[in-house]
Amino acid sequence: MKFRIFLFPIIIAVLFYYSGTKLIQFAPHRRILGWTLSGVLFVLMLAWQFAYRAPQLSIDSTPFKFMAWAGSLSMGIWASFILYSLPIDLLHFGYWGMQKLSGPRELDPIRREFMTAWLPAGLLGLAGGSSAFGLWEVNSGPKIREIVIPIDNLPSDLEGLKIAQISDLHVGPTIRRAFVEQVVQRVLATQPDLIAVTGDLIDGTPQRLANHIEPLSRLSAPLGTFYVTGNHEYYWGAEDWVQTTTQLGFTPLLNENRILKVRESKILLAGVTDTGAHDFIAGHRSSPQLAAQTTHSCDLKILLAHRPESCLEGETVGFDLQLSGHTHAGQFFPWSLLVRLAHKYYRGLNRHGRMWVYVNAGTGYWGPAHRFLVPSEITLIRLTSNKQGNFNGTKSI
């Protein structure tokens, strides 16, 4: 625990140093200017996050909106530039090491100019271009991703059942009422039988975001709107958010379930708290086993869990399908390539033992307003029987 206190400043210091060395490449004879620009960049990227936590701040003020968007966009360009640069720098470092071992060799002047001037400029241009496209993806709003999931021995009563899932909306500094209204309209247009909200709905307190989350009260479906907590709810007061989502018309599921009857068939719809919830509230320790407990005989068991890894226990206690989020599928390229190193299931439909696990790529975004090659999504799931050996198919609308 003590190490965690120092981990964040250590990471920031390393990133600051690396960013400074990259900026110096653009002005090699003005090192002080390079380090100064690095400092300004980090203040721009981080100041709005700290300012957002000031209780007297009005997030609807023009100065804060400017600060938040400037910081968010800068973060997106910087992150892309660093990720594009790092593999090349590692190769260059390896080449330099080999040269040291084999003896000194003068680098060709043209190659030196390319490595020190043209290549960094090209990577910065690439980062700016991909970030601009990623911002366009953000402003386009979430796409409806329709997926058909075959369930073994699904009763005919449940054939074609539609579940709309939103996850990781992150209403907060840059995701505001207009974006939320767009999400609500698109969800309702799918005419789902059931709505599942799988955590990280917000970034902020209920009082601060009251106006921006109000459109969520219009979410409705015949079988109900159900909600589970993600890790970000615990950063901003999970108990308050459970109460607030109840007032919005959601049914929170905190290691518990509801039995939903569709004609003669029964669905056990369960939800668990975030797997890290117990670090904030002892009584919120995530438990798929507790969530599965029932005296009813059910035809289908669905688990809502913010993090995909809940499937490790979820499958053992008999769930047929798990709906999750959390990973953002990396949110933008090339993070989308690296996210698989941290999560076994990080995007789309996956099979874990006898259970399906669907991971929503995120309805909103966090931090950079940037979704290059990883569009945000509202998932529309249709259930079908697997009696005829059907397999899953996907399409985007």
Could you tell me which of 299, 268, 296, 352 has the C-alpha nearest to residue 159?
A: 299
98 or 142, higher pLDDT: 142
Assess whether pLDDT exceeds 80 at residue 29.
Answer: no
Assess whether pLDDT exceeds 80 at residue 284.
Answer: yes
In this prediction, residue 108 carries a pLDDT of: 62
Q: How confident is the model at residue 18 (pLDDT cuts 50, 70, 90)?
A: very high
DSSP 68-90: HHHHHHHHHHHHHHHHHHHHHHH
pLDDT in tens, 214-255: 999 999 999 999 999 999 999 999 999 999 999 999 999 999
pLDDT in tens, 300-311: 999 999 999 999
Strand partners, 323: 304, 358
Assess whether pLDDT exceeds 70 at residue 290.
Answer: yes
Q: Is 391 exposed, middle or buried (0-12, 13-18, 19+ CB in 10 A)?
A: exposed
Assess whether pLDDT exceeds 50 at residue 158.
Answer: yes
pTM: 0.92
Q: Which two tokens stand for residue 325?
A: 């989020």
In this prediction, residue 304 carries a pLDDT of: 98
* 187/87 Cα distance (integer angstroms): 40
List C-alpha distances in Å: 58 to 48, 65, 324, 365. Answer: 12, 10, 32, 21
How do strand 348-352 and strand 355-359 relate by DSSP bridges? antiparallel
Q: Is 336 left (phi over 0), alpha (psi -120 to 50) or beta?
A: alpha
8-state DSSP, 115: I
CB atoms within 10 A of CB 111: 9
* 272/253 Cα distance (integer angstroms): 6
Q: How confident is the model at residue 390 (pLDDT cuts 50, 70, 90)?
A: very low
Query: What is the arrangement of strands in the sheet containing 393-396, beginning at the earlier edge strand?
Result: 251-252, 225-228, 194-198, 162-166, 377-385, 143-151, 393-396
Amino acid making up residue 270: A
pLDDT in tens, 314-347: 999 999 999 999 999 999 999 999 999 999 999 9
In this prediction, residue 4 carries a pLDDT of: 64
Enumerate helices (H) and strands (E) in the chain, giving the number of each.
Answer: 12, 13
Could you tell me which of 371, 393, 381, 388 has the C-alpha nearest to residue 141?
A: 371
Domain 143-392 homologous superfamily, CATH: Metallo-dependent phosphatases (3.60.21.10)
8-state DSSP, 142: P
Q: Is 145 left (phi over 0), alpha (psi -120 to 50) or beta?
A: beta
In this prediction, residue 2 carries a pLDDT of: 54
* 279/71 Cα distance (integer angstroms): 29
Query: What is the arrangement of strands in the sheet containing 348-352, beginning at the earlier edge strand?
Result: 256-262, 265-271, 300-304, 321-324, 355-359, 348-352
Q: Where are the domains of the chain?
A: 2-138, 143-392
In this structure, of 23-27, 217-221, 257-261, 262-266, the range with the lowest mean pLDDT score is 23-27
* 166/199 Cα distance (integer angstroms): 8
8-state DSSP, 117: I
Length of the chain: 397
Could you tell me which of 364, 231, 192 has the C-alpha nearest to residue 310?
A: 231
